[in-house]
Chain A
Amino acid sequence: MTEQSTVLILLQVFCDRKEESFCETEKSSAEQKLFFGKKIKFRHILIEKHYVEKSMLNYIWAVMILLGIVYAACTGQMEAVTNAALDSAGEAISLCLTMAGVMALWMGLMEIAQKAGLIQKMTRGISPFLQFMFPRIPREHPALGYIATNIIANVMGLGWACTPAGLKAMEALAQLEAERGNTAYNSEDAPAANRVASNEMCTFLILNISSLQLIPVNMIAYRSQYGSADPACIIAPAIIATLISTVAAILYCKAKEHSKWRY
Chain B
Amino acid sequence: MEILTHVSDIIIPLIIFFVVGYGMVSGIKVYETFLKGAKDGLKVVVDIIPTLVGLMVAVGILRASGFFDMLGSLLGPFTELLGLPAQLIPLLIVKMFSSSAATGLVLDIFKTSGPDSYAGMLTSILMSCTETIFYTMSVYFLAAKVTKTRYTLAGALFSTLVGTVASVILAGMMV
Contacts and interface: CB of A to CB of B under 8 A. Distances in A.
Contacts of B47: 20
B73 to A, nearest CB: 13
B80 interface: no
State which size class the interface on B falls in. 35 or more
Given A93-B49, A235-B11, A249-B159, A64 B62 contact: yes
Contacts, number: 418
Contact of A245 (B9, B42, B61, B163): B163
A230 B56 CA distance: 24
The 4 closest A-B pairs by CB, nearest first: A111-B37, A107-B41, A245-B163, A88-B60
The A interface is mostly helix, strand or loop, or mixed, namely: helix
Contacts of B19: 109-110, 112-113, 116, 118
Interface stretch (A27-35, A67-75, A123-131, A133-141): A67-75
B66 A71 contact: yes
23 contacts: A12-B138, A84-B61, A96-B45, A96-B48, A108-B33, A108-B37, A109-B15, A111-B33, A112-B19, A115-B23, A159-B44, A192-B145, A208-B131, A208-B140, A228-B116, A234-B128, A237-B125, A237-B167, A240-B170, A242-B128, A248-B158, A249-B155, A253-B155
A229 B145 contact: no
Given A211-B129, A236-B8, A248-B162, A171 B41 contact: no
Given A17-B139, A228-B115, 9 more contacts: A100-B45, A103-B44, A112-B34, A195-B147, A197-B146, A202-B152, A210-B160, A222-B103, A230-B9
Main secondary structure of the interface of B (DSSP, over half): helix
Chain A, interface size: which category? 35 or more
A226 B145 contact: no
B8 A108 contact: no
Interface string B123-162: 0111111110111111111111111111111111011101
